[in-house]
Chain A
Amino acid sequence: MAKLNVNGRILDVAAEDDTPLLWAIREQIGLTGTKYGCGVAQCGACTVHVDGQAVRSCAMPVSAFTEAQKIVTIEGLAPMGGAQHALQKAWVELDVPQCGFCQSGMLMAAAALLAQNPRPSEAEIRSEITNICRCGTYNRVLAGIQRAAGTATSG
């Protein structure tokens, strides 16, 4: 039994200690926006925030967390009150997703980047966002981050 602080709620999670945070979030807590893609921290589809840092939740056991650590999933990315995060707004404006399966992780990785580096250069975005997308949305992901950061250039 673990206690997790997810999207502002403290939850009892009946999972074995070695259960990855990803699967506790998906199966015990029931939030399915965080995706399983590889299970070996390669693809980033499972990215959540832990105290503001982007974490690949498929490779971290629930026993590594305490209720003092604030976990945020894609369902908790938008500020309270239903408004969109600036990245979500940019994503909709640019029609970033294709199949969309990787996009929760992309958005969480991008949000953590902007929280630490509000105006990243293109090179910083390219090196920091290492999530995998098979449909090939990278250029629109890049443009979406730049739009949200206010660094978009025309054309």
Chain B
Amino acid sequence: MTMQTNLSRRFVLGGAAAGAFGLGFHIPAAGAQTVAAAPAIPPEINAWVVVKPDDSVVIRIARSEMGQGTLTGLAQLVAEELNADWSKVTTEYPTPGQNLARNRVWGNFSTGGSRGIRESNEYVRKGGAAARMMLVQAAANAWNVPVAECRAASSVITHVPSGRTVRYGQVAEAAGRLTPPADVPLRDPKEWTIAGKPLPRLDTVEKTNGAQIYGMDLTLPGMLNAAIRACPVFGGKVRSFDAAAVTGRPGVKHVVPVGDNAVAVVADTWWRAKTALDALPITWDEGPNAGASSEAVAAWLREGLDAPGAVVGNSAGDAGAALAGAAKRIEAVYDYPHQNHACMETMNATAVWTPERCEVWTPTQNGEAALAATAAASGLPAARCDVHKIHLGGGFGRRGAVHDWVTQVVTIAKQIPGTPIKMIWSREEDMLQGRFHPVTQCKLVGGLDAQGKLVGLTMRISGQSIVADIFPQNIRDGRDPVVFQGLNAGGGEAMIGYTIPNLLIDHAMRNPPVPPGFWRGVNLNQNAIYLECFMDELAHAAGKDALEFRRALMANHPKHLAVLNAVAERAGWGRPRTDGRHLGLAQTHGFGSYVAACAEVSVSAEGKLAIHRIVAATDCGHAVNPQQIEAQIEGSFVYGLGAALYQECTLKGGRMVEENFDTYPMLRMEEMPKVESIVMPSGDFWGGVGEPTIAVAAPAVLNAIFSATGKRVRTLPLTKVDLRRG
């Protein structure tokens, strides 16, 4: 597939470089992506569909492709309603500037919260259906026959009574001039022939031969490269730097301040910029957080586990009275550390600034947010800026809500007008300047009656709020609406799967001086660990089977129960084993989908963990591309288990200690379990798939570890825990 990248034709450079941004130019690389200017009147049927005279169909994709397959899935949904010939489908990204100029005709560009397909499926399908209706109408008009006598299939329109046919490309121009239909019915998903099928991705070939261009690979004529270092201490600033110490080095062109907390070296190549930056003397004003540490944060959060003034997220009955009257009381405290997204491609962007216009090329999960950051940093109105989305080498939430790197590159480019500047973060910069998975602790207290039935549960979450930092306007009456993911009473999103007669779940907000971010799976990750591991603790205390104990609480939650039953059955839960392997269960609901996992592990006498097999089930309502859903499920275990087994960003002296993969290890192929996916869409809702399964990865494994060792793991990562026998 060819992904078209539209460079603006309006961009005019001053000085000697003028003309370089004329009517399109080629990115000088191995060429899957041609960069072409759009014709003055694009041959579009509507905002979503362009049909060219050669019948090739270009489907516009507003959301970002970062590996999760959204690009292919959205194209399937449009092509389904369009009755397009799938072999002729290509895609392109409209720019946020075009969206702004066309009154947001493509809606939301944000690609987070596993919302890419579930949130936009209706309007993109209507885009495809409307385009098909207009193409058929154009053919009917040309033949002067009733539209009801015409059928469209595989990009060909047939007049049924006469057998005449016409290809989409032949009527596209006429169709584009018609008034869009007001009433656009959609196909019943049961009739899908393109959507719902495990079609190959549209973007695979170029990822196997080096041709895929990522942000880091972009080259523009006359471009210089920037390496940047921001104060590693959160909230710190640059006090001074000695540019003269490096300006004579090979290739170095500029040494510039970036805001009040960073310095960049600009050189002909990035490696020369990076090595000069390494040699640049910088003194920092470390500011008020210079003494902050993970230990101090943990102590503060521990105090929050019993502090007054917490905000209630979910409650029923009288949990305090139920616990007081319980035959047996079980209590446990869990915690979850700071973690970095660690996208394989570090943050980067390329910008050109002139007094008239500013353009940015960057991998982003939200082009509109990137445009807002560009406009703010450029000093120009948004209408004089644009952002060109380049393929993402991973996103995981880091490239979505906060575009700090875009602000930086524009700030650099503004100091060197007319010259394209590509800024790449080193891995060390990426690790130190993250937007970290929030840190929390959770105290759970459960009460069992004499028969071992759960009569009351309290969950006190103490810790960091992402929303309070990034979208403080969304905090109402002190309540972070996202912090209770997976624990909500109702509302259709991230709902708890148990009916507990006396329940109190609340949050004591404690925000340490570490910038938090939406990290793939967000708050569902730790909440599922807390609840699902504690459910195992309660079952054990009640002397009951972990599956049966859960089932007794799930009668009112049939979809939660269905995925749990599916994994238990497939994994052979309850069967006697003689192979030394142990099973663990977890289930949750988040990002609109119901997910469950059963992990099969063994732990050697020396404490070495082996995760042999995972069975995972997902009910995402509608499955647009089942094989890509399986890929997301498999990948979720890598992300979730890597985090649980190995990953913690340690705060010391107000900065993170871990700077690269040698101290922040990743799950590798040797530890990767087999994953058996059960995709079981129940059909009456739309759920996301990129994130929810991450949340069940860790608790399923931790519960299996308990079964194998008798040890409860309540702190992460697992490297902190000794699993040796005895």
Contact = CB atoms under 8 A, between A and B. Distances in A.
Contacts of A132: 344, 661, 666, 668
A102 to B, nearest CB: 5
B210 A43 contact: no
Q: How large is the interface on B (under 10, 10 to 19, 20 to 34, 35 or more residues)?
A: 35 or more
B674 A139 contact: yes
A39 interface: yes
A100 B427 CA distance: 18
Contact of A129 (B210, B214, B216, B669): B669
Interface string A16-31: 1011100100111011
B66 interface: yes
Interface stretch (B180-188, B196-204, B300-308): B196-204
A77 B30 CA distance: 13
Contact of B660 (A39, A98, A130): A39
B660 A78 contact: no
B217 A32 contact: yes
A134 B394 contact: yes
Interface string A129-151: 11111111111111000000000
Nearest to B426: A39
A16 B250 CA distance: 9
Interface string B421-446: 00010110000000000000000000
B343 A30 contact: no
B209 A20 contact: no
B207 interface: yes
Interface in A67-110: 73-75, 77-78, 84, 88, 91-92, 95-104, 107
Q: How large is the interface on A (under 10, 10 to 19, 20 to 34, 35 or more residues)?
A: 35 or more
A37 interface: yes
B394 A74 contact: no
A45 interface: yes
A49 interface: no
B565 interface: no
A123 to B, nearest CB: 9
A23 B391 CA distance: 20
A13 B29 CA distance: 18
Contacts of B225: 27
Given A130-B670, A134-B396, A134-B639, A92 B344 contact: no
A42 interface: yes
B637 interface: yes
A134 B210 contact: no
Contacts of B208: 84, 88, 91-92, 96-97, 103, 107
Contact of A33 (B30, B66, B203, B672): B30
B343 A134 contact: yes
Most chain B CB atoms below 10 A, which of A33, A96, A104: A33
Interface stretch (B474-482, B573-581, B627-635): B627-635
A129 to B, nearest CB: 5
A18 to B, nearest CB: 8
A135 to B, nearest CB: 4
B219 interface: yes
Contact of A134 (B206, B427, B638): B638
Contacts of A38: 427, 660-661
Interface in B228-287: 250, 269-272, 275
Given A19-B271, A39-B427, A136 B674 contact: no
B291 interface: no
A43 B209 contact: no
A42 B669 contact: no
A60 interface: no
A141 B426 CA distance: 27
A39 B344 CA distance: 12
B370 interface: no
Contacts of B30: 31-33, 75
A127 interface: yes
Given A95-B201, A99-B66, A139-B634, A75 B209 contact: yes
A27 B270 contact: yes
A129 B669 CA distance: 7
A131 B346 CA distance: 16
Interface of B: 28-30, 66-69, 200-201, 203-214, 216-217, 219, 225, 250, 269-272, 275, 342-346, 391-396, 424, 426-427, 627-628, 631, 634-639, 660-662, 666, 668-670, 672, 674-675
For the complex of A and B, list the 4 residue pairs with the smallest distance between their C-beta atoms, beginning with the closest. A33-B210, A136-B635, A136-B638, A99-B67
Given A40-B662, A75-B209, A98-B631, 11 more contacts: A35-B344, A84-B209, A92-B205, A97-B208, A99-B67, A101-B214, A134-B343, A135-B344, A135-B394, A135-B638, A136-B639
22 contacts: A15-B271, A18-B275, A27-B225, A27-B269, A30-B29, A35-B214, A38-B660, A38-B661, A42-B662, A43-B661, A84-B208, A84-B209, A95-B200, A96-B208, A97-B208, A99-B391, A100-B393, A101-B344, A127-B670, A129-B669, A135-B394, A135-B635
